[in-house]
Amino acid sequence: MPKKIIKKGKKPHKNKPTSKKYTKYKIEGEKIIREKFCPRCGPGIFLMYSQGRLYCGKCHYTSFDKKEAPKTD
Ligand SMILES: [Zn+2]
């Protein structure tokens, strides 16, 4: 029987994927254009768009697209 090689010790370090928040900002001339941000968390926390709705990963705020959604306040 061949010897089983068991690795011991620390696992190799892997870099985390960088936050891609910078992709949410665009500069046109002297203006900064921001993507839609969360009304609860404020600017800086952006909403992801999925299945016709905008969703905040931080506070779980969900807002539906204008076409489908009746306003719920
Ligand atoms: Zn939020």
Domain ranges for the chain: 37-73
pTM over 0.75: no
Compute, in angstroms, the gap from residue 14 CA to the centroid of ligand 1.
29
41 contacts 47 by C-beta, under 8 angstroms: no
pLDDT of residue 41: 92
Compute, in angstroms, the gap from residue 39 CA to the centroid of ligand 1.
7
Compute, in angstroms, the gap from residue 7 CA to the centroid of ligand 1.
42
- By CB atoms closer than 10 A (0-12, 13-18, 19+), residue 38 is buried
Q: Could you say which residues of the chain have pLDDT below 50?
A: none
Compute, in angstroms, the gap from residue 36 CA to the centroid of ligand 1.
11
Compute, in angstroms, the gap from residue 30 CA to the centroid of ligand 1.
28
Picking from 20, 43, 48, the residue whose alpha carbon sits closest to that of residue 33 is 43
